[in-house]
Amino acid sequence: MAPLLPQLDGVLFDCDGVLVDSERITSRVWAGLLTGYGMPTTTEESLATYLGNSMARCLEIVEDRFGRTPPDDLLPRFYADVKVALATEVTPVAGIVALLNALEIAGVPYGVASNGEHDKMRTTLGATGLLPRFEGRRFSAVDVARPKPAPDLFLHAAQVLGFDPSRTIVVEDSPLGVRGAHAAGMTVIGFAELVAPERLLAAGAACTVAHLSHVLPLLVPAPASAS
């Protein structure tokens, strides 16, 4: 299989759902809090509705869906509850450690660009042992004017890391993230673990994978076999 780009400067990963298996945990906590405030929400509904959004956008969606302003303590309670849940439950996404190891061996630099806050990334990446691998290479929507699906975060990360957007590949698991990376002029691999491949392709992904073990052949040439 030929790599997606003939020249590759580096790779940007989304965090939740791509590096760390956190989406189900955060969606469960969010749904439980909304339900407790009289806004009934299942974990599945939370995943389908809020996946990939910044927390500011999540509050807007809550107001749109339920016709009332979210309680003032919703976010503080969520941050407190989800930090405990993530610290004790989160695991690396299957295949990510092997993929990062392979990129390092191949000399391909990488970073993380997430709509999540820095504190959340420190919690999840720290709990999974991935935090040291992203020192100086963690970028959050709070660093830029507009979160995904705007391209701002991806362009900011590329500028800091010295990546040409046209030679950057992004691994994303949400349509919002795919749209943002595509708008930044980057090539996107859709990780179709929680979202149907068709939705990621429609958002602008060049292709999709069902497991992270399928990503490396799309990034670097396969080593030549011995004759």
pLDDT digits (tens, 9 = 90+) for 207-217: 999 999 999 99
d(CA 196, CA 223) in angstroms, rounded, equals 31
Residue 205 and residue 186 in contact, taking contact as beta carbons nearer than 8 Å: no
Mean pLDDT score across all residues of the chain: 94
pTM of the entire structure?
0.89
> What pLDDT, on the 0 to 100 scale, is given for residue 227?
44
Helix (H, G, I), strand (E, B) or coil at 71: coil
Burial 178-191 (b: 16+ CB within 10 A, else e): bbbbbbbebbbbbb
Dihedral sign of CA atoms 209, 120, 90, 79 in order:
negative
Nearest Cα to 116, choosing from 95, 96, 90, 97? 90
Q: In whole angstroms, how far apart are CA 31 and each of 27, 46, 50?
A: 6, 6, 10
Residue 103 and residue 110 in contact, taking contact as beta carbons nearer than 8 Å: yes
**What value does the mean pLDDT take over residues 134-147?**
96
**What value does the mean pLDDT take over residues 54-63?**
93
**What value does the mean pLDDT take over residues 180-202?**
97
Q: How confident is the model at residue 224 (pLDDT cuts 50, 70, 90)?
A: low
The single residue listed with the structure tokens 């503080």 is: 76
* Per-residue DSSP letter, 112: E
Q: How confident is the model at residue 201 (pLDDT cuts 50, 70, 90)?
A: very high
Catalytic residues: 14, 16
d(CA 25, CA 48) in angstroms, rounded, equals 14
| In the predicted structure, residue 223 carries a pLDDT above the cut 80 | no
| In the predicted structure, residue 21 carries a pLDDT above the cut 90 | yes
